[in-house]
Structure 1
Amino acid sequence: MSAPRRSVLALAVLSMLTEEPMHAYRMQQLIKERRKDDVVNVSQRNSVYQTTQRLARDGLVAVAATERAENRPERTTYRITDAGLATLADWLRTMLATPAAEYPEFPAALSFLPNLSPTDAVEALTLRVTRLEERLAALDREIAEVARFLPRLFVVEAEYQRQVIDAELRYVRGLVADLRAERITWPFADGAPGRFG
């Protein structure tokens, strides 16, 4: 049997189940309530169900109970197994210690920037600056709010995100300034998008 496939959502499910047995819908709601949906993609309701079922097949979680309320679909509550606890700890150690090759959209978009005109590029990047500033302000509010009633341990991921967004914001502001000052130019005489040959 192969090792269970690690994912951020699987990590979140296992972590939720260390608190108490629960059903997939409750896990999804807790992730959103705790604002962990900034780091765990739970936008598709079915993804939590599918991940929980995969973890059950892998023996990392097990059915704790199955209930059916009047006029409602059957609801299965899961609990974490000993193998799930061991896997959770192993995944956390690995994810904390090992930088992963990730493929975010923004660096990919930057690598194909010459396919836009300089004007379009500046316009899009300027809009990104505004959105990054808004995200930074929201994170500052979130960190301050959580710090009122929880220890810092529970906001370290938000602190990390804040640092990453702040660094990106500084970079994008500088890139926009360089584009506007024409310190970065297009390889085409008219500055129009085109293909490299």
Structure 2
Amino acid sequence: MTTPGKSSMRPTALGLVVLGMLIEQPMHVYRMQKLIKERGKDKVVNVRQRTSLHQVIDRLTTHGLVEQVGEGDASENYPSRRSYRITPAGRQTAIDWLTAMVTEVPDEFPQLPAALSVLTMVAPDTAAELITARITTIEHTLNELRSERGGYEVPRIYLLEDEYRTRGLESEAAWLGEVRHDIERGELTWTAPDAPPYEPEEPK
């Protein structure tokens, strides 16, 4: 039996979700993937390919955070049917990861701030058009989130990630609207080098 302790495995969102599900009960990879989709967790972790789950399970197993249940489940022909359970070390690691991910603000490098830092590459009117296009994309995403949320018959606690994404997108759209307003009024302006105008893509 593995004893609890600090794991050397790097924390990952998918790894935390898997550990959280195995805290509920032992299960096989197919069941994990199904529950992740049923609970809408596929909006916050990438499980489009079941191989992603197998890879994270392999890493969790290597680090002693989960273990296979029973020798009889080790079918090479049907690896998705192998059941796994969390170990004591896995439980402690899950709490450690959860604590860190909730309380810490990591140094991340998302694309939008990088793009905004060089917005002067284009003229102000082009920048306003780009911002408008992003606001439109955000509004489309928000509509999808609200529509999907109505289809989940689960307690609110299991949808907090959707609330977080929704509030974040709403705040972003509102702030971008203010920036666009300032550009259009000439309160935020600059001289850009020669650059081709923005041409939105034709809808597919």
Q: Which runs of 5+ in 2 are unaligned?
A: 1-5, 197-204
> What's the TM-score, normalizing by structure 1?
0.81
The residue type equivalent to 2:142 in the other structure is L
- Residues 7 and 63 of structure 2 are in contact (CA less than 8 Å); yes or no, is this contact kept in structure 1? no
**Identity %, equivalent residues:** 39
CA RMSD of aligned residues (A): 2.5
Give the CA deviation at 1:108: 1.6
Of 55, 63, 68, 1:63 maps to 68
**Number of residue pairs aligned between Structure 1 and Structure 2:** 188
Of 67, 70, 85, 1:79 maps to 85
Q: Distance in 1 between matches of 2:83 and 2:61?
A: 11
Of 110, 116, 126, 1:110 maps to 116
Give the CA deviation at 1:7: 0.9
The residue type equivalent to 1:159 in the other structure is E
Q: Distance in 1 between matches of 2:78 and 2:155?
A: 38
Change (3 A) 1:121 1:46: farther
Of 39, 43, 52, 1:47 maps to 52
Give the CA deviation at 1:2: 6.0
- Alignment pair present for 1:154 and 2:167: no
Change (3 A) 1:43 1:110: farther
- Residues 114 and 193 of structure 1 are in contact (CA less than 8 Å); yes or no, is this contact kept in structure 2? no
- Residues 67 and 85 of structure 2 are in contact (CA less than 8 Å); yes or no, is this contact kept in structure 1? yes
1:119-163 Cα distance to aligned partner (Å, 9 max, x none): 4322222111111112222333344444xx432212222111111
Q: Distance in 2 between matches of 1:34 and 1:141?
A: 14
Identify the residue that residue 35 of structure 1 maps to in structure 2.
40
Identify the residue that residue 166 of structure 1 maps to in structure 2.
170
Q: Distance in 2 between matches of 1:50 and 1:151?
A: 30
Which structure carries more relative contact order (alpha carbon 8 Å, separation 6+)?
Answer: 2
